[in-house]
Chain A
Amino acid sequence: MADVVLKVEDIHKSYGKLEVLKGIFFELKRGETKVIAGPSGAGKSTLLRCINLLTKPDKGRVWLENVELTDPKVNINKLRARIGFVFQHFNLFMHLTAIENVMIGPIKVLKLPKEEARRRAEEALLRVHITEDLWNKYPAQLSGGQQQRVAIARALAMNPVIILYDEPTSALDPELVGEVLQVMKELATQKVTSLVVTHEIGFAISVADELMFMYGGKIIEKGPPREVVYNPKHEATKKFFANIARLYGKQGA
């Protein structure tokens, strides 16, 4: 289990009477990219938040490189710093420029000197193809696609063990989805361990090692993306991908 980077065991979460997660199990090895898909309300976003404990699971355990995050004795801030998180609505810090957004984590959390943080930020921004002319713009002056790429750079600059993506393209205008997916694909190819909640089936098929399908708070089906998409076993999975096919046409990458 030396190479297992993230292990999730029997995660449960309820909001009042509503049981959102009913026992989730899976693991990711270093360098892997896994995709979670499923209808809205299946608990996908809640699951991601339970992994970095932005939401506290009611039951179950999460390990990051053999350290148990759900252990109440661990310093969760220290561990969270090693898990990149990319939000659906980007959540860039509105009062900071693009490069300041990427520098603030290394400075405030990793306590790096400013020059070192700047060097890291520049490197991360270039990796997501944000060119120098955009570094001093504020988030509101950037397109959605640019904002999301800066958000990915913000995660990368922390040198994370893994990046969690929570529907990173669903708030974007269609013409901006491609540039974000392209960056995510490149990172996946560079073996940045990634767990991605998305409906972008093309992305899953072209780069994911595994597709997990969530339904009703459980992972009901998983396997090679092509297999799950084109040859689903469960009724719910069939219905979901048939709907996506109807909405987007031929969805293969």
Chain B
Amino acid sequence: MPVQASVIAYIPYMLDGLKMTFLLVGGGLGIGFLIGVPIAIGQVYGPKELKAALDAYVWFFRGTPLLVLLFLFYWGVFPALGLNLNAVLTSALVLGMRSGAYQSQIFRGAITSVPEGQYMAARSLGMGKWQAVLSIIVPQALRIAIPGWSNEYAIILKDSAICFVLGVMEMLNRTRYVMISTGEALLPFIFAGITYIFLTYGGVKVFDIIYERYKIPGLLVRG
């Protein structure tokens, strides 16, 4: 069988790895959102001590290579905490904690771009500080942040490939297996690369649709 044909025969096997890729990206973005939004709110409106702690968190996860984080948590932190987490769960959590750090900065920028007058108007109606933040500032900031999240998706999608080092059978890892078993590198990796381009494009389009769905006339957006 010619090499090309044998690579083609492996395509379903490679694409099956997308399930894992989606799990990592979805988990990472979701966990990152749940962590990132409260961090941003705390960084902008919280007391000084909380801000310092959140800053430390953000700097740690933004300042450390993903590879280091994966090894650290898989072989170091989680076992030390008595947690016996498998490679997939560890990867999703690490991607999520790291994305949370980045997403917090996306969302923080969005919060601070909401004009001060919005907060003043809310307080002048008699809203308390947190009521004003949650019912006036956050709904606007969430919309402003959508283009930033689209970008974060594009990044985390490709970062998910690095999780192959823990043995997670996502698409890149399967592509590597195809290379090993067929002896052919060029075609499988070209295929994998193109697949990532399509996924990036498709995902960004999804964010565009979300943006269109929730956009409000006149609300400032920096793309």
A residues touching B (Cβ–Cβ < 8 Å)? 52, 54, 77-83, 85, 87, 89, 91-95, 104-105, 108-109, 138-141, 154, 158
Contact = CB atoms under 8 A, between A and B. Distances in A.
Nearest to B125: A105
Interface string B108-131: 000000010110111111111001
Contacts of A91: 115, 117-118, 120-121
A80 B216 contact: no
Interface string B67-109: 0000000000000000000000000000000000000000000
A95 B128 CA distance: 19
Interface string B188-223: 000000000000000000000000000011110000
Contacts of B216: 94-95, 138, 140
Chain A CB within 10 A, most for which of B126, B128, B136: B126
B13 to A, nearest CB: 47
A93 B126 contact: no
A140 B124 contact: no
A77 B118 contact: no
A138 B126 contact: no
27 contacts: A54-B120, A77-B127, A79-B126, A80-B123, A80-B124, A81-B125, A81-B126, A82-B126, A85-B121, A89-B117, A91-B115, A92-B121, A93-B118, A93-B121, A94-B118, A94-B219, A95-B136, A95-B139, A95-B219, A105-B127, A108-B125, A109-B126, A138-B217, A138-B218, A140-B216, A158-B125, A158-B126
